[in-house]
Amino acid sequence: MRGTEVTVGIGGAAGEGIGSTGDSLARVCARLGLHLCAYNSYQSVIRGGHVWLRLRIADEKIYSHGDHLNILLALNQDTLNRHTAEVRQGGILFNADRLQVPQDDLQPGVELFPFPVKALTEKYGRHPVMQNTLLLGGLLWLLDLEFEVLAGILREMFQRKGDKVVEANVGIARAGYEYAQQHYPKLNYAWRFSGKRRMVVSGNEMFGLGAIVAGCKFYSAYPMTPASSILHYLARHGPAYGMVVKQAEDEIAVINMAIGAGHVGVRAMCGTSGGGFALMTEAVGLAGMTETPVVIIEAQRGGPSTGLPTKTEQGDLHQMFGASQGEYPRAIIAPTDVVDCYYTVIEAFNLAEKYQCPVIIASDLYLSEHRETADPEEFRFDVPIERGELITDGVPENYKRYAITPSGISPRVLPGNHGTAYVAASDEHDEDGILLSDVFTDPVKRKRMMEKRMRKVEGMRQELPPPQLEGPADAEVTLIGWGSTKGVIRDAITLLAKDGIRANHLQIKYLVPFHAQEVEAILKQCRRTVVVENNYTGQLARHIRAETGIAVDEKILKYDGEPFEPHHIVERVKEVVHVHSR
């Protein structure tokens, strides 16, 4: 039996409470045991503009925020003008009675459920601010969700503001619920409530939690959307676990602080977006040359320059490949969902210390900021902590910090150990750290040191799991993605199957080192290959060709600042299959 689902759109201007409305509804659903996936499309203004949140709710696991609209909750006229036409047949328009519904955009069978906002809120004296809470209360009646769960959440949210504010919010939500109860029928959603309380989390929150569990003791950042909420999370929770959280004056200071902390033995991380990462790139090379572990989260947004500060894109892959001059060992990892964000950070710290190199985590605004449910048991806290060739006791005689070894990994002693001193400079050096370029550049030593460092790349490649093809081996189409596209590709494959098109899926998480042989072997067995990515040039497709020599058959690209929806993929795949089947 297929589960029940509904997609709710909530729109208004910045400052009208769209985020808090969506968060409250999400928490109600999660506490009742439902699943959800939400995406908030907002502008870079504090007040005004248009904010659009879409929340997909289901009693089975879902993987994207969907591509349709059942209910529109409009807080202003602009929202009705923009989104009325998106509400599908049988849907509901939910708005204040003072707003005018554009009749030409109204789909057949869509019902109007206006609310007398002013009359219902005037006794609370704050009606312009609280219409979102009123409409949310009414929505709970329509969706047949328990009001007392919402009341409990509102008490939790506003208790710090005092009893008067709490009771006003609960009261106005109840007024909306009761008005809907008296005037509108419940919608026919036969929910199967599991009663299992779930988490509602974002990728950035899970990056933060993963860092704490991994033993990170230093986090530095300069506020830059969409990485800023990592800083907010760790500033709130990190100090309780011994973490120093530092907001620096710019991204150059940010990464140099993190490298300094990593140099003296602290697990250190920093976060930024593409513009900030551009400032960091010389220092990324410093970490490569000095063989210093550091973890960097690069949460991509639309570019170039400051680009689209509040919109998503996967346009920085080439920038991450080319970070700093020269060649050096590093890893670039693209997590795929909120749970994977948690484990990827833990893995990144282990890789950074084991291979003594920078590790870059490639996120994007959608993955970092969208919210979805996760089951608490999906998270383990007894995770492995691997510090690699770290000598904490008994420094050997004639210690060489950059000793040439078969693996390329040199024993690491932290500064301050008795009897140990070495140079860690940004110039090329010998095994002792003595610079090669001061008087005479020694080409033999340079060659040996370069080869020593680069041997670590193969060690990482062998340790990391290669990507696996998911789905039927004889599929008509293979969809290839990286990072946040995993969920929407999975939903698209389900929709394609309903139309008789068999598709499978290759999601590439480890971009550097790249499993070229394994990817090549998979793609050679595929009938038709299509890359799905949020950029203009097909950066993953180009990377695959560079590493394997295989050019994918088609690319589905999106670069308007918004994430993929399943229909974007389904429609294009149908075109591809139709063309090739003629």
DSSP 274-339: HHHHHHHHHHHHHHHHHT--EEEEEEE-B-STT-BTTS-----HHHHHT-SSS----EEE---SHH
The pLDDT value given to residue 126: 58
Token code pair at residue 183: 């005037």
Q: How many other β-carbons are positioned within 10 Å of the β-carbon of residue 351?
A: 24
Sequence-distant (≥ 6) Cβ neighbours of residue 150 within 8 angstroms: 24, 28, 136, 137, 140, 173
**Terminal alpha carbon distance of the chain:** 36
Domains of the chain, earliest start first: 5-197 (3.40.920.10), 201-378 (3.40.50.970), 469-581 (3.40.50.920)
Q: What is the residue whose two structure tokens read 């969409």?
A: 226
Residue 170: count of CB within 10 angstroms of its CB? 21
Query: Which residues does residue 218 pair with via DSSP β-bridges, in sequence order?
Result: 244, 268
Dig out the tokens for 413 from the structure: 């002693």
CA distances from residue 540 to 46, 82, 318, 543 in whole angstroms, order as listed: 35, 33, 9, 5
Beta pairing, strands 358-364 & 331-333: parallel
Q: What would the two tokens of residue 39 be?
A: 């995406």
pLDDT at res. 419: 75
If you search the block for the tokens 């909306």, which residue do you land on?
176
Radius of gyration of the CA atoms of the chain, in A = 26
Burial 251-283 (b: 16+ CB within 10 A, else e): bbbbbbbbbebbbebbbbbbbbbbbbbbbbbeb
Nearest to 61 by CA among 24, 30, 19, 20: 30
Identify the segments of the chain with pLDDT beneath 70. 1-3, 126-129, 438, 579-582
| Consecutive H or E run containing 270 | strand 268-272
Tell me the C-alpha distance between 484 and 233, whole Å: 21
Torsion of CA 58, 64, 69, 75, to 10 degrees: 100
Are residues 405 and 414 in contact, defined by beta-carbon separation less than 8 angstroms? no
Joined tokens for residue 331: 């890893």
Give the Cα separation of 173 and 231 in Å (integer): 33
- pLDDT for the residue numbered 1: 37
SS3 letters across 498-565: HCCCCEEEEECCEEECCCHHHHHHHHHCCCCEEEEECCCCCHHHHHHHHHHCCCCCEEEECCCCCCCC
**Which residues, at least 6 apart from 451, have a Cβ–Cβ distance to it below 8 Å?**
408
Location of structure tokens 């070229």: 516
Nearest to 397 by CA among 377, 413, 381, 415: 413
Pairing of strands 268-272, 294-300: parallel
Cβ partners under 8 Å of residue 190, min gap 6: 4
Packing angle between helix 147-158 and helix 163-183, nearest 10 degrees? 160
Quick check: 288 and 314 in contact, CB under 8 A? no
Q: What are the tens digits of pLDDT across the range 342-395?
A: 999 999 999 999 999 999 999 999 999 999 999 999 999 999 999 999 998 888
406 vs 125: CA distance, rounded Å: 74
Q: How far is CA 254 from the centre of its chain?
A: 21
Token representation of residue 245: 């959280």
